[in-house]
Chain A
Amino acid sequence: MSTKLDVLKHVMVPDHKIMSEAEVSALLSHYKITTEQLPKIFHDDPAVKTIGANVDDVIRIVRMSHTAGMAEAYRLVIKRPKK
Chain B
Amino acid sequence: MPSPKRIGRIEFGLLSPKEIREMSVRKIIWADTYDDDGFPYPQGLMDLNLGVIDPGLRCKTCDQKASECPGHFGHIELAKPVIHVGYTRLIRKLLRVTCRACGRVLLSPDEIEKVVGTEDDQTGDLLSEKDVKKERICPHCGDQQLKINFEKPTTFSEVMVEDGKKVEHKLTPADIRARMEKIPNEDLIPLGINPDVARPEWTILTVLPVPPVTMRPSIILENGQRSEDDLTHKLVDIIRINQRFKENQDAGAPQLIIEDLWELLQYHVTTYLDNEVAGCPPARHRSGRPLKTLSQRLKGKDGRFRGSLSGKRVNFSSRTVISPDPNLSVSQVGVPRAVANEMTIPVRVTIHNIDELRQVVRNGPLRPDVNAPCGANYVLRPDNRRLRLADGNLDTIADMIEPGYTVERQLRDGDVVLFNRQPSLHRMSIMAHRVKVMEGKTFRLNPAVCPPYNADFDGDEMNMHVPQTEEARAEATILLSVHENILSPRFGGPIIGGIHDHVSGIFMLTHGIRWFTKEEALYLLRYTHVEHMPPPGKEEDGIQYWSNKQVFSMILPDQLNMVFRASSCQNCDTCEKEMCERDAYVRIIDGILEVGTIDKKAIGAFDGQIVNRTIRHYGMRRAADFIDDLTKLSIRAIMFDGFSFGIDDEDLSKTEYGQIDEVLNNVASDVTRRIKIYEDGQLEPMPGRTVEETLEMQIMQVLGKARDLTGQIAGRHLGLGNSAVVMAVSGARGSMLNLTQMAGCIGQQSVRGERIVRGYDDRTLPHFRKGDRGSDAHGFIAHSYKGGLNPTEFFFHAIGGREGLVDTAVRTSQSGYLQRRLINALQDLKVAYDGTVRSTGGRIIQFQYGEDSTDPTKSAFGDPVDVKGIVESIIKEEV
The 16 sampled A-B contact pairs (Cβ below 8 Å) are A37-B838, A37-B842, A37-B843, A39-B844, A39-B845, A65-B851, A65-B852, A67-B850, A67-B852, A67-B862, A71-B851, A81-B124, A82-B123, A82-B124, A82-B125, A83-B124
Query: Smallest CB–CB gap between A2 and chain B, Å?
Result: 30
Q: Is B519 an interface residue (CB 8 A)?
A: no
Query: Smallest CB–CB gap between B189 and chain A, Å?
Result: 15
Q: Decide if A31 touches B844 in the complex (CB within 8 Å).
A: yes
Residues of A within 8 A of B124 (CB): 81-83
Residues of B within 8 A of A74 (CB): 847
Query: Smallest CB–CB gap between B23 and chain A, Å?
Result: 34
A32-B843 Cα distance, complex, nearest whole Å: 11
Q: Decide if B851 touches A67 in the complex (CB within 8 Å).
A: yes
Q: Is A38 an interface residue (CB 8 A)?
A: yes
The 8 Å CB contact of B125, one of A32, A67, A71, A83, is: A83
Q: Decide if A33 touches B842 in the complex (CB within 8 Å).
A: yes
Q: Decide if A68 touches B836 in the complex (CB within 8 Å).
A: no
Contact with B along A37-68 (1 / 0, CB 8 A): 11100000000000000000000000001011
Q: Decide if B847 touches A68 in the complex (CB within 8 Å).
A: no
Q: A65-B852, A82-B123, A83-B125 are in contact. Are A73 and B847 (CB under 8 A)?
A: yes
Residues of A within 8 A of B852 (CB): 65, 67-68, 71
Within 8 A of A (CB), among B1-21: 2
Residues of A within 8 A of B848 (CB): 68, 71
Query: Smallest CB–CB gap between B191 and chain A, Å?
Result: 14
A36-B836 Cα distance, complex, nearest whole Å: 15
Residues of B within 8 A of A73 (CB): 846-847
Q: Which residue of A lies closest to B841 (CB)?
A: A37
Closest 7 CB pairs of A and B: A82-B124, A68-B852, A71-B851, A68-B851, A67-B852, A65-B851, A37-B843
Q: Which residue of A lies closest to B864 (CB)?
A: A67
Residues of B within 8 A of A33 (CB): 842, 844
The 8 Å CB contact of A31, one of B2, B125, B834, B862, is: B834
Q: Decide if A67 touches B854 in the complex (CB within 8 Å).
A: yes
Q: Which residue of A lies closest to B849 (CB)?
A: A67
A82-B127 Cα distance, complex, nearest whole Å: 13
A74-B847 Cα distance, complex, nearest whole Å: 8
Q: How large is the interface on A (under 10, 10 to 19, 20 to 34, 35 or more residues)?
A: 10 to 19
Q: Is A72 an interface residue (CB 8 A)?
A: yes
Residues of B within 8 A of A32 (CB): 834
Query: Smallest CB–CB gap between B659 and chain A, Å?
Result: 49
Query: Smallest CB–CB gap between B93 and chain A, Å?
Result: 15
Residues of B within 8 A of A68 (CB): 848, 850-852
A71-B846 Cα distance, complex, nearest whole Å: 10
When A and B form their complex, what is the total count of cross-chain residue pairs whose Cβ atoms lie within 8 Å?
45
- Where the two chains meet, the residues of B that have a C-beta atom closer than 8 Å to any C-beta of A are 2, 123-126, 834, 836, 838, 841-848, 850-852, 854, 862
Query: Smallest CB–CB gap between A13 and chain B, Å?
Result: 18
- Where the two chains meet, the residues of A that have a C-beta atom closer than 8 Å to any C-beta of B are 31-33, 36-39, 65, 67-68, 71-74, 81-83
Residues of B within 8 A of A39 (CB): 843-845
Q: Decide if B862 touches A72 in the complex (CB within 8 Å).
A: no
Residues of B within 8 A of A81 (CB): 124
Query: Smallest CB–CB gap between A52 and chain B, Å?
Result: 20
Residues of B within 8 A of A82 (CB): 123-125
A71-B848 Cα distance, complex, nearest whole Å: 9
A37-B844 Cα distance, complex, nearest whole Å: 6
Query: Smallest CB–CB gap between A38 and chain B, Å?
Result: 6
Query: Smallest CB–CB gap between B491 and chain A, Å?
Result: 14
A73-B844 Cα distance, complex, nearest whole Å: 10
A73-B837 Cα distance, complex, nearest whole Å: 12
A67-B125 Cα distance, complex, nearest whole Å: 42
A74-B838 Cα distance, complex, nearest whole Å: 14
Query: Smallest CB–CB gap between A76 and chain B, Å?
Result: 10
Query: Smallest CB–CB gap between A83 and chain B, Å?
Result: 6
Query: Smallest CB–CB gap between B550 and chain A, Å?
Result: 42
Residues of B within 8 A of A65 (CB): 851-852
Q: Can you add 8 more A-B contacts, CB < 8 Å, to A37-B842, A71-B848? A: A37-B838, A65-B851, A67-B854, A68-B852, A71-B851, A72-B847, A82-B124, A83-B126
Residues of A within 8 A of B844 (CB): 31, 33, 37-39
Q: A67-B862, A82-B125 are in contact. Are A31 and B836 (CB under 8 A)?
A: yes
A36-B844 Cα distance, complex, nearest whole Å: 10
Q: Which residue of B lies closest to A72 (CB)?
A: B847
Query: Smallest CB–CB gap between A36 and chain B, Å?
Result: 8
A36-B124 Cα distance, complex, nearest whole Å: 21
Residues of A within 8 A of B845 (CB): 39
A68-B847 Cα distance, complex, nearest whole Å: 12
A74-B850 Cα distance, complex, nearest whole Å: 15
A68-B843 Cα distance, complex, nearest whole Å: 22
A27-B114 Cα distance, complex, nearest whole Å: 41
A82-B125 Cα distance, complex, nearest whole Å: 6
Query: Smallest CB–CB gap between A34 and chain B, Å?
Result: 8
Query: Smallest CB–CB gap between B776 and chain A, Å?
Result: 48
Q: Which residue of B lies closest to A36 (CB)?
A: B843
A39-B836 Cα distance, complex, nearest whole Å: 12
A16-B836 Cα distance, complex, nearest whole Å: 21
Residues of A within 8 A of B841 (CB): 37
A67-B846 Cα distance, complex, nearest whole Å: 13
A24-B364 Cα distance, complex, nearest whole Å: 69
Residues of B within 8 A of A36 (CB): 843
A39-B845 Cα distance, complex, nearest whole Å: 6
Query: Smallest CB–CB gap between B76 and chain A, Å?
Result: 38
A83-B124 Cα distance, complex, nearest whole Å: 7
Query: Smallest CB–CB gap between B360 and chain A, Å?
Result: 52
Q: Which residue of A lies closest to B842 (CB)?
A: A37
Q: Which residue of B lies closest to A63 (CB)?
A: B851
